Structure 1
Amino acid sequence: MSRPSSFSFGTLALSALVLVLWVAALQVPVPPQEEPLRVAVGMWAGAEPWVLAREAGELKSSQVNLVEMNWTSAAMRAVGNRVVDATVLSLDEVIRQIHQGYPLRIVMVTDVSRGADALMAKPAITNIAGLKGCRIGYEPRTSGAWLLSKALENAHLKLSDVQQVPLNPAEVEEIFQELALDGVVLSEPWRQRLHSMNLKEVYDSSVPGASIVRVLAVHPDALVVHREALISLIQAHFKWMPKLYENGRELSPVLRREGVTAEVFQQVMKNLEGVDLARNHRLLSQQEPWLGQLFTELQKGLVEDAESAARLDPSEVFDVSLLEELP
């Protein structure tokens, strides 16, 4: 007499049920892990509050990813190509980006440069007129290009009156002599780093009408997808920006990044005007018209064929909504 099979009908049914559940589980879509807000952080004091906030553990990498970049044009390409969602740019750089087809929104003014950007020349060149025919290094299509144009305009010169040498500011220390430069346009901290070369400042952003406004520029999609992270980013700026003026021990990571001493960094900050929350709100809502007027005026000199090009109204670019949502 044969032995009854140990593989019963109940066992078979249980196995089939497990198989069905396993297949069903494979078909359930797994919710994608949300990517953090990606922010390009250039070598500029007005972006350093976020570095301090990150070091203090207040900006979590799961929410905000700070992508460090040494020069402005790299940040412009990154935000234009959506490698990052936001970055600090000057007002003129934002205008250039938008007119090249890269949509951006301005959600905060980080600072105003009143001397932190400068045109420097060899000691033998005593004024702007002396730059005619000289080799001048600068970073094209950035605020450095605008400042150079502004300086030359004051001496009734044009860009075509100088030999233009495109360069990366981070390399100026090493290549100034190699490129046989007569002058260079730099922002901080690169300006401070060249003091050993005894260059003479012939023009800077402290001159009336030459101030450079830098802003947090954001891709429109990020205003929806990363709204909470952007609010945290803006909060961190207003909390930590005053620390940059205090010269406390918290500045150690900033000094390492900028490659300057605490004393030199304080000189940098003397040429940088912070913009608090209340004034930010007035500027972006255009209750205080200065920023909107500057935005409109800058387009005249920056946009090719300015007479026929579609002018941007500040209200199309300024977005005050995040400031209004701050707790």
Structure 2
Amino acid sequence: MTATSRARSRLGLVAGMMLAAAIVTTAVLALSGCAPQAAAGPDAEASASTEPAAELRLGYFANVTHAPALVGLEEGLFADALGDTKLTTQVFNAGPAAIEALSAGAIDATYIGPNPSINTFIQSGGQSAHIVAGAATGGAALVVRDGIDSAADLEGTTLATPQLGNTQDVALRSWLADEGYETDTTGGGDVHITPTENAQTLTLFQQGALDGAWLPEPWVSRLIVDAGAHVLVDEADLWEDGAFPTTVLLVRAEFLAEHPETVQALLEGHLASVAWLDENPDEAPTVINAALEAETGKPLADEVITRALEHVSFSVDPHAETFETLVANGLEAGTQKDGSIDGLFDLRLLNGLLESDGGEPVSAGGLGEE
């Protein structure tokens, strides 16, 4: 029996367990004189429907760092796992735009970078969304033009990031601060940071209007192969063992509470996609490229996608142990509010699937349920 069929057979059991737990919890609260309140977080099963959702609206980016989403769609893995639930998708350029859609209820879940996930959680007081799995690590770097060979050469330059407050934007601002440079969120300071859509960044760099950019793959490799840039900072070099989260799977808290079976089915497809990437390295470039072509109208050059995939790893571990550092970086960059991220992770459904298939559970790092 495949991981997909095993997970699907457990949906009814999970729903029943959640409903039973909800009934017991409600009875205990009633006897103690404590009236339960409506909840929007991961413990809201007490008031939630256990029916699968009629539709799941999923966001993702047309980036190699979102390959689990691309493969899951291209290979039909999500559709197989979701069954009768309709899957609709929306493509974003960067995290803040995806968060805006999630907060407005326009999408239910999204593949996204860690920093926008942190931002929405803190700004909502822990009520907006929860990370239910990791997706990708690595695959981000600062690439620059000829003549820039060290941090000392960056004063007065103009660098791009995908969007203000996105994961690469925070990484660049934090790294520049460590190098002694001042920046601000309006493009001022010792180094000018201009948040720019990725495709436009490539064009502006080719025209000489930008000196470099901190980007995710495949845009790092595109600037190198198509525009002659070189890597000044590989973000992997800034983290212990080179492991840092680039993409996680974030689900709207209300949707998670109301439709745990559907979220489990999404995770089932996600696990199948990550497994497919691990088991089919030779086919992966072709499948990912087909998905990228469908979204952008043009496939990547073989050299670009080969290089990009060499710098990205795919895993369902969200590397929760790095998130306190990411919070500190966001505060230093001036792109997020101070606040707690306790409860950001809800890895219970993921770990249930992993353990059922004989795998090791992943850690929430003390920042949520696991």
Q: Provide TM-score, normalisation by structure 1.
A: 0.75
- Which segments of 5 or more consecutive residues in structure 1 lack a partner in the other structure? 1-32, 284-289
Aligned to 2:235: 205
Aligned to 1:236: 269
Q: Is the CA contact (8 Å cut-off) linking 1:136 and 1:165 kept in structure 2?
A: yes
Structure 2 residue matching 1:152: 3-state secondary structure:
helix
Matched, 1:57 2:86: no
Structure 1 residue matching 2:320: 3-state secondary structure:
helix
Structure 2 residue matching 1:202: 3-state secondary structure:
strand
Aligned residue runs from structure 1 range 13-162, under 5 A: 35-60=54-79, 62-101=85-124, 103-113=128-138, 116-138=139-161, 139-159=163-183, 160-162=189-191
- Which segments of 5 or more consecutive residues in structure 2 lack a partner in the other structure? 1-51, 184-188, 293-298, 357-370
Q: Matched residues in 2 for 1:179 and 1:74: separation?
A: 27
The answer to which of 187-196 and 40-49 deviates more is: 40-49
C-alpha spacing 1:226/1:42, structure 2 compared with 1 (3 Å)? farther
Q: CA deviation at 1:249?
A: 4.3
- Once the two structures are superposed, residues 260-299 of structure 1 have per-residue CA deviations (whole angstroms, 9 ceiling, x without a partner) of 24553332222122225xxx3xx7xxxxxx624x222322
Aligned residue identity for 2:134: V
Q: Is the CA contact (8 Å cut-off) linking 1:46 and 1:241 kept in structure 2?
A: no
C-alpha spacing 1:225/1:170, structure 2 compared with 1 (3 Å)? farther
Q: Which of these residues, 314, 336, 349, is aligned with residue 322 of structure 1?
A: 349
- Once the two structures are superposed, residues 114-155 of structure 1 have per-residue CA deviations (whole angstroms, 9 ceiling, x without a partner) of xx1111111111112211111111121111212212331342
Aligned to 1:163: 192
Identity across matched positions, percent: 22
State the Cα RMSD in Å: 2.9
C-alpha spacing 1:152/1:57, structure 2 compared with 1 (3 Å)? closer
Aligned to 2:311: 271
Q: CA deviation at 1:211?
A: 5.0
Q: Matched residues in 1 for 2:315 and 2:74: separation?
A: 23
Q: Matched residues in 2 for 1:47 and 1:166: separation?
A: 20
Q: Is the CA contact (8 Å cut-off) linking 1:52 and 1:251 kept in structure 2?
A: no
C-alpha spacing 1:291/1:76, structure 2 compared with 1 (3 Å)? same
- Once the two structures are superposed, residues 171-221 of structure 1 have per-residue CA deviations (whole angstroms, 9 ceiling, x without a partner) of 222233557111112111111222221112111212132754121111111
C-alpha spacing 1:50/1:164, structure 2 compared with 1 (3 Å)? closer
Q: Provide TM-score, normalisation by structure 2.
A: 0.67
Q: CA deviation at 1:253?
A: 4.2
The answer to which of 129-138 and 52-61 deviates more is: 52-61
Q: Matched residues in 2 for 1:234 and 1:57: separation?
A: 14
Aligned to 2:24: none
- Once the two structures are superposed, residues 280-324 of structure 1 have per-residue CA deviations (whole angstroms, 9 ceiling, x without a partner) of 3xx7xxxxxx624x2223223324899x943232xx111122114
C-alpha spacing 1:164/1:40, structure 2 compared with 1 (3 Å)? same
